[in-house]
């Protein structure tokens, strides 16, 4: 009979995780452009400072960062979509339509040009959301071996929804809070009507996120051959 | 396999997810406020023009009463007595002008003369700087209220000396000064005008109660001194309109200043919603003033529902300013009703002098002493007259009832109920059976046994 030492089990588990991490790093080497990824992250952090600062120097830097961020987003995600994930024409058209509609909706808000920081930051982050959703959706499709066009498009939509779900639930909770705690002057009756739809859609998105994550992670680990290794069996 | 490996590595996705959440939050908020978004620069130009139109046209100094008022203010000497709030005593039944009061009146003789002369002038332009928005200085407000108290003291002292004609002239000057206050269509000026009018009416009531005039001529002089044609609804609508224009200009100005200070890059996204909500709520108040719909000051729910019905986004400015503006509305009607009640009270005294007894009702005054029984401003109900056998008890003065059998002339007030001529602001103890919401604007007339028994004089 072998006695199970908790400490040794834990160290075995950590060792297994380290091995997996190294193997994943080697397997994914060159899949995306590492320096581009870092540049996107740094520029994203720099560009959002324009929402919080009125110091002209900082805002100028943020404006430049916003422009560069837009370009790099296109480069980074474009590389993944077109070169690595073989995005089809239909998926590309859907992506462009989604991007165009979201940005069009944003720039046609009357008077938005009077608030350049909000416009620029929202544009960049919205574009990131659309492109990220497309990339992750096609990634899920590859991992789940979803070959049909509709399935791939659906997975893209699911990622868009699941990424936005926490925000929808947060907005719904905030509206509900203001409505029911005597702070009704902060939200109008028209805005209050959105509380329930946002909550329902957000909840659906969270459930989808959970299901998709479980299914996709299982599939990825099977592909990587990590299933037995992660249980730490000799 | 590369795809699976890349997917399983986090690689900044947590950071990106948080940033995307921020972007989506911003996007959703902007979308919810989509229909209300507005441009402060364009709106500022419009509101600046509207504010410039509010300012009265300047007039030569020779015709401008404000010049004399400022001269009077410069000539005033402060009250030298040890008590602060000396003006709270001058209406009391036990008031006797001490040496301090006499010195105060004497030292301010020139100032009082200037005030009386200025009040007779037709035009008064204060020269306010409207471009400052709601932050503009209105220095003459407190000066004019103090001037009203000075003339009220003068009226009381003259009445105690038996010179009711001079007392009536002083009270008439206060009413005219109150009208000069409203040259600028600002609610604050209107409220001070109401306060000055109330100072005069309260002093008249004190004179009627404690130094009751005993000649028809004196009573007539007091009646002619009253500002009866107050037209509270028209005045209120005008002042609320001015307040609306000034308020929205101030909002545009402060938002635009924020933009300019920040180098042109900061704008409040909910500015448009605030502006629209405020304009709509104020328009409702103006319309209410014109049509007779008063939002109840005691019932915040009423105002809250008004704001909720017109808001199209955050309405913080409306929540702060509209209730105060709405509650100010009732003051105008209260002042009007009290002044009209004063006129009826004086008519009762004239009836008493002629017939030797009080009228049975206000209808008995019609034709000879009144053209018609006046109606109150709140509910358009006829004024009431009631003999109060229990008199009144002053707050803080124990339980001694004064003037048992006095007559109360009153309207039903904002609550529309017959509170028997009682209210919560006159300094009387309200009878227990009436509760805390009593609000009848009233004028008290002493009982018949206190009236002078001297014969009628032409």
Does pTM top 0.95 for this prediction? no
Statement: residue B148 has pLDDT above 70: yes
Q: Which of B12, B30, B312 is closest, CB to CB, to A112?
A: B30
| A184 DSSP 8-state letter | G
For residue A189, what are its two tokens?
Answer: 């009756």
Which backbone phi and psi does B423 adopt, to 5 degrees? -155, 175
CA dist list (Å): B222 to B226, B281, B385: 7, 40, 20
The secondary element (H helix, E strand) that includes residue B397 is none
**Sequence-separated contacts (24+) of A56-59 with Cβ below 8 Å:** A56/B263, A59/A117, A59/B263, A59/B265
Beta bridge partners of B64: B123
For residue B313, what are its two tokens?
Answer: 């986004």
For residue B371, what are its two tokens?
Answer: 């053209």
Q: Which of B22, B263, B272 is closest, CB to CB, to A111?
A: B272
| A80 DSSP 8-state letter | I
For residue A171, what are its two tokens?
Answer: 């907005």
Of the listed ranges B9-23, B183-197, B247-261, the least confidently predicted one is B247-261
Half-sphere exposure of B337 (CA within 13 A, CB side): 28
Q: What is the pLDDT of residues B313-368, one digit of tens each?
A: 888 888 888 888 888 888 888 999 999 999 999 999 999 999 988 998 999 899 88
Q: What is the pLDDT of residues B102-137, one digit of tens each?
A: 888 899 999 999 999 999 999 999 999 888 888 888
Predicted confidence at residue A232, as pLDDT, reads 45
Instruction: Judge contact between B413 and B440, C-beta under 8 A.
Output: yes
Predicted confidence at residue B213, as pLDDT, reads 92
Above pLDDT 90, what percent of chain B?
A: 41
Q: Average of pLDDT values for B289-318?
A: 78
- Report helix angle B140-160 to B109-120, nearest 10: 110
Best mutation target among A122, A131, A183, A189 (most B Cβ atoms within 10 Å) is: A122
Instruction: Judge contact between B154 and B105, C-beta under 8 A.
Output: yes
Residues 6 or more apart whose CB falls under 8 angstroms from that of B247 comprise B134, B278, B282, B317, B321
Of the listed ranges A163-177, B318-332, B388-402, the least confidently predicted one is B388-402
Statement: residue B63 has pLDDT above 90: yes
Are B24 and A216 a contacting pair at CB < 8 A?
no
Q: What is the pLDDT of residues A190-231, one digit of tens each?
A: 888 999 999 999 999 999 999 999 999 898 888 887 765 444
Are A27 and B315 a contacting pair at CB < 8 A?
no
Beta bridge partners of B93: none
Distance from B310 to chain A by nearest Cα, in Å? 8
Predicted confidence at residue B396, as pLDDT, reads 67
Q: Average of pLDDT values for B297-308?
A: 73
Above pLDDT 90, what percent of chain A?
A: 34
Q: Average of pLDDT values for B152-177?
A: 95
Predicted confidence at residue B265, as pLDDT, reads 45
A39 CB neighbours in chain B (<8 A) are none
The residue in chain A having the minimum alpha-carbon distance to the alpha carbon of residue B273 is A188
Predicted confidence at residue B168, as pLDDT, reads 96
Q: How far is CA B253 from the centre of its chain?
A: 27
B304 CB neighbours in chain A (<8 A) are 184-185
Predicted confidence at residue B436, as pLDDT, reads 75
A202 CB neighbours in chain B (<8 A) are none
């Amino acid at each position: 009979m072998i006695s199970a030492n908790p400490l040794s089990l834990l160290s075995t588990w950590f060792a297994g995780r380290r091995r997996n991490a190294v193997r994943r790093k080697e397997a994914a080497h060159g899949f995306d452009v590492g320096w581009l990824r870092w540049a996107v992250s740094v520029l994203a952090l720099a560009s959002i400072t324009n929402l919080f600062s009125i110091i002209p120097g900082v805002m100028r830097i943020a404006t430049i960062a916003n422009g560069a961020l837009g370009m790099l987003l296109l480069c980074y995600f474009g590389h993944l979509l077109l070169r690595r994930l073989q995005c089809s024409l239909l998926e590309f058209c859907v992506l462009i339509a989604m991007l165009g509609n979201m940005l069009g909706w944003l720039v046609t808000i009357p008077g938005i040009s009077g608030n350049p920081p909000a416009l620029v930051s929202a544009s960049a982050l919205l574009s990131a959301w659309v492109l990220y959703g497309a990339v992750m959706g096609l990634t899920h499709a590859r991992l789940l071996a979803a070959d049909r066009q509709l399935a791939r498009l659906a997975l893209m939509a699911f990622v868009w929804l699941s990424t936005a779900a926490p925000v929808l639930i947060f907005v719904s909770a905030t509206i509900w809070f203001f409505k029911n705690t005597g702070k009704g002057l902060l939200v109008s009756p028209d805005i209050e009507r959105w509380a329930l739809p946002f909550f329902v859609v957000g909840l659906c998105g969270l459930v989808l996120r959970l299901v998709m994550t479980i299914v996709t992670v299982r599939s990825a680990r099977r592909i990587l051959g990590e299933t037995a290794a992660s249980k730490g069996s000799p | 396999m590369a795809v699976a490996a890349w997917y399983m590595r986090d690689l900044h996705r947590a950071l990106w997810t948080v940033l995307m959440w921020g972007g989506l939050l911003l996007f959703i908020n902007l979308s919810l406020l989509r229909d209300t978004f507005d441009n402060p620069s364009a709106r500022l130009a419009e509101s600046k023009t509207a504010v410039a139109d509010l300012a009265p046209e300047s007039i030569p100094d020779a015709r401008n009463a404000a010049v004399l008022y400022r001269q009077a203010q410069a000539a005033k000497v402060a009250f030298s007595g040890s008590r602060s709030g000396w003006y709270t005593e001058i209406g009391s039944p036990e008031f006797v002008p001490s040496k301090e009061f006499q010195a105060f009146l004497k030292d301010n003789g020139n100032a009082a003369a200037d005030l009386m002369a200025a009040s007779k002038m037709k035009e008064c332009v204060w020269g306010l700087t409207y471009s400052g928005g709601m932050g503009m200085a209105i220095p003459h407000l407190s000066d004019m209220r103090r001037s009203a108290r000075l003339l009220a003291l003068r009226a009381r002292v003259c009445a105690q000396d038996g010179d009711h004609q001079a007392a009536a002239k002083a009270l008439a000057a206060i009413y005219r000064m109150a009208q000069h206050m409203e040259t600028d269509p600002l609610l604050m000026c209107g409220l001070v005008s109401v306060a000055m009018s109330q100072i005069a009416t309260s002093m008249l009531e004190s004179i009627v109660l404690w130094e009751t005039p005993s000649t028809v001529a004196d009573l007539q002089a007091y009646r002619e001194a009253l500002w009866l044609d107050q037209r509270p609804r028209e005045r209120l609508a005008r002042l609320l309109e001015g307040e609306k224009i000034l308020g929205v200009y101030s909002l545009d100005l402060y938002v635009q200043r924020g933009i300019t200070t920040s180098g042109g890059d900061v704008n409040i996204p909910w500015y448009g919603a605030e502006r629209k909500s405020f304009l709509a709520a104020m328009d409702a108040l103006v319309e209410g003033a014109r049509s007779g719909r008063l939002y109840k000051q005691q019932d915040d729910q009423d105002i809250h529902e008004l704001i909720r019905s017109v808001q199209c986004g955050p309405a913080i400015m409306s929540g702060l300013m509209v209730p105060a503006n709405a509650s100010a509305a009732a003051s105008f009607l209260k002042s009007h009703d009290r002044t009209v009640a004063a006129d009826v009270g004086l008519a009762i005294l004239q009836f008493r002098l002629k017939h030797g007894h009080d009228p049975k009702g206000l209808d008995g005054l019609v034709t000879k002493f009144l053209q018609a029984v006046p109606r109150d401003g709140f509910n358009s109900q006829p004024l009431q007259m009631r003999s109060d056998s229990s008199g009144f008890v002053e707050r803080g003065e124990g339980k001694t009832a004064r003037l048992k059998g006095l007559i109360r002339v009153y309207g039903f007030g904002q609550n529309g109920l017959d509170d028997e001529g009682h209210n919560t602001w006159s300094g009387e103890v309200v009878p227990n059976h009436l509760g805390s919401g009593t609000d009848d604007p009233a004028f008290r007339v002493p009982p018949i046994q206190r009236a002078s028994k001297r014969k009628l004089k032409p």
